[in-house]
Amino acid sequence: MTTTHCPYCALQCAMRLEPGPDGRLAARPAPFPTNRGGLCRKGWTSAEVLTVPDRLTRPLMRKDRDSDLVETDWDTALDHVAERLLALAAESGPDTVSVFGSGGLTNEKSYTLGKFARLALGTSQIDYNGRFCMSSAAAGGMRAFGLDRGMPFPLSDVGGAEAVLLAGANPAETMPPMMGHLSAPALLVVDPRRSATAQVALDNGGLHLAPRPGTDLALALGLLHAVRVGGWVDEEFVASRTTGFEAAWEHAAAWWPEHTEQVTGVPAAHIRAAADLLGAAARNRSAYVLTGRGTEQHAKGTDTVSAWINLSLALGLPGRTGSGYGCITGQGNGQGGREHGQKADQLPGYRRIDDPAARAHVAGVWGVDPDTLPGPGRSAFELLDALGTADGPRAMLLFGSNPAVSAPDSGRVRSRLAALDLLVTADFVLSETAAMSDVVLPVAQWAEESGTMTNLEGRVLRRNRAAEPPPGVRTDLQVLSDLAVRLGQPPERFATDPDTVLAELGRASAGGAADYSGVTPARLDSGEALYWPVRADAAPTPRLFLDSFAHPDGRARFLAVSHRPPAEATDADYPLVATTGRLMGHYQSGAQTRRVPELGRAEPEAYVEVHPDTAARAGLAAGDWARVTSRRGRTRARVRLSSTARLDTVFLPFHFAGDQAANNLTNPALDPTSRMPEFKVSAVRLEPEP
Ligand code: SF4
């Protein structure tokens, strides 16, 4: 029996893996503060992914784009990849080779991937799928607090609150054990849909505020207005611990609840009621504002996050015990994945790659000249969109990601991936992206190797190895080391043992914002709660900002942000808004969960959630196949009627592939700060599938 953590989302529920009667491992819940002994359906069935029948155990390679992938041996595959990478770099420079990582990789892999890109390839062209997931919250947190730890307090703190406002998150569906912490008497859910979480709020006397998609920034401005008019601003906190309130207020001054209602559709009375509930709880230092992907995945996602942070600052919530602002991370290592250098603009320790002192420190740990380190590269969608173009990369190495399904405007992304001279994917199954690749490298999965993850609270956890990988499979760390040696790196520079990498990561991150220098296997194994920063000579930090925020003057920043409409508008051809999200039974692109029989049976195909009147106008009934078309592409999905759906909006889960992929529709318009695409608002039309 091995105690470890779930392979999926950022709650990182603790579980035991133990042999069942058939000898195969089965997952059982284990006590832990975040999941309190609970698991969701994905967690319960997670061990089945270890034995999926189409598991890859030999490298695959194709001779040319027109031939099939065929099995080969590791030396042949790795020699071929290294030769092609060296040849392409010699021809077109190091930036012709690119790397794409994932918020699902362990801290050790995230760190090594960034180091591999900068040292073994010398390329600036590395980014990761977390750019699609949490980059707006990261940017919003950075500019408000000077530091981005999504939830700067333990999740268990939230359980005792009198009021919780949850914007753009649906944990009742996506991470059900978290609901144990959302028992506040006043639960206020902001979501255009009557989500499972919104229903919980209504059932318990809370509020569901349902703004038109793309207007929650306006709603946050309206709430700030109502908070001030209601006399709920914490004047002492604003004066002593923040700057910029009056400038931010100028942007909120016109957002009377009635005006806010006109733009968002949320009744003015609900806005005032929400402000009063939050304000009264804030007076008792007992209120939280939490945000998720629904606030972030917009071309104005960073400003939307800032608007919610402004509200929390006006109420005096952050930087105090019993109250706060936090962001609910999505991917399993959504927090750690953005700290160790697999992001285009970053070095380990959450350092900026264009900061000379950061470059000198990290180069010192790596034993290289800082001047040899490349600078910032393209963000995730911009990188994918440049592949195979005249000045874009001609090769990509991809770890832990499936952008053929998960990227916005995924048809366009698939055509860019197909335009590459060389696409190499490391995966344990033939995902949709792996199937397009020239070389596929079969790698170990979560329970077959150890490594650390950083959960949504910024707590570093250890995933323990519970099973031998199948013969023929290598770990991602082994693959990176094997390739690095073939690319001319000294063998000792790329360790394959996760604990050795963790120790190096600690040195590289020392002194940075996300400092892991005190994270050791012994401390992890002892069960110590290692919230970062974790220094060797200091206690971990479960609650940040209690004395001061991380800006040089110690104050948090209000940001002056304005509402603006979504990047594209509906019209006669595309009269509806499509918004996307997750289901309880599937995770991300579905490459893992679609292979679990129980989960596949529960949600076997894509669906589109539609109001009955909207469906009738389109000539559709429950159970029909619908065609949903945007300005970028189309998808098909089974009609599911919901009388609580908005008349102007349809919802599609994004876990399905091919002609059922929701991301065939989505808009890659980018946030100017975070470079987050606008997944949440696409203009579409709905019609019967011929
Ligand atoms: Fe917990 Fe998330 Fe895993 Fe479900 S998917 S068991 S909520 S970590």
Rounded to whole angstroms, how far apart are CA atoms 154 and 178? Answer: 12
Whether 226 contacts 275, CB under 8 Å: yes
Atom of ligand 1 nearest to the CA of 178: 7
pTM: predicted TM-score of the whole model, two decimal places: 0.95
Alpha helices in 367-435 (DSSP H): 380-386, 403-406, 410-418, 432-435
What is the residue whose two structure tokens read 């009621």?
Answer: 273
pLDDT in tens, 511-520: 999 999 999 9
Tell me how far the alpha carbon of residue 24 lies from the centroid of ligand 1, in angstroms.
20
Please tell me the residue having the least CA distance from ligand 1 atom 2. 9
Give me the half-sphere count of Cα atoms (radius 13 Å) on the Cβ side of residue 330: 29
Rounded to whole angstroms, how far apart are CA atoms 534 and 515? Answer: 6
Tell me how far the alpha carbon of residue 135 lies from the centroid of ligand 1, in angstroms.
21
pLDDT in tens, 26-56: 999 999 999 998 999 999 999 999 999 999 9
List of residues 6+ apart from 96 with CB closer than 8 A: 88, 89, 123, 393, 394, 395
What is the residue whose two structure tokens read 């320790």?
Answer: 349
Ligand 1 test: best mutation among 173, 175, 456, 587, most atoms within 8 Å of CB? 175
Rg of the chain over Cα atoms, rounded to whole angstroms, equals: 24
Rounded to whole angstroms, how far apart are CA atoms 264 and 101? Answer: 36
Distances (CA, A) of 262 to 257, 259, 267, 295: 9, 5, 9, 20
Please tell me the residue having the least CA distance from ligand 1 atom 7. 175
Query: How far is C-alpha 298 from the chain's CA centre?
Result: 14
39 lines ligand 1 (CB under 6 A): yes
Q: How many CB atoms lie within 10 A of CB 264?
A: 27
Atom of ligand 1 nearest to the CA of 40: 4
583 lines ligand 1 (CB under 6 A): no
DSSP element (H, E) containing 477: helix 476-486
143 lines ligand 1 (CB under 6 A): no
Please tell me the residue having the least CA distance from ligand 1 atom 1. 13
Q: Domains of the chain, with CATH numbers?
A: 2-51 (2.20.25.90), 60-133+333-496 (3.40.50.740), 135-328 (3.40.228.10), 576-688 (2.40.40.20)
Please tell me the residue having the least CA distance from ligand 1 atom 4. 40
Query: How far is C-alpha 500 from the chain's CA centre?
Result: 27
Q: What is the pLDDT of residue 37?
A: 87
Atom of ligand 1 nearest to the CA of 174: 7
Q: What is the pLDDT of residue 564?
A: 94
pLDDT in tens, 99-152: 999 999 999 999 999 999 999 999 999 999 988 988 899 999 999 999 999 899
Tell me how far the alpha carbon of residue 557 lies from the centroid of ligand 1, in angstroms.
34
Q: How many CB atoms lie within 10 A of CB 196?
A: 17
Rounded to whole angstroms, how far apart are CA atoms 238 and 223? Answer: 17
11 lines ligand 1 (CB under 6 A): yes
397 - beta bridge partners?
99, 424
Q: What is the pLDDT of residue 160?
A: 87
Take residue 604 and report the two structure tokens written for it.
């076997």
What number is the ipTM of this complex?
A: 0.99
175 lines ligand 1 (CB under 6 A): yes
Q: What is the pLDDT of residue 592?
A: 86
Residue ranges of the chain with pLDDT lower than 70?
Answer: none
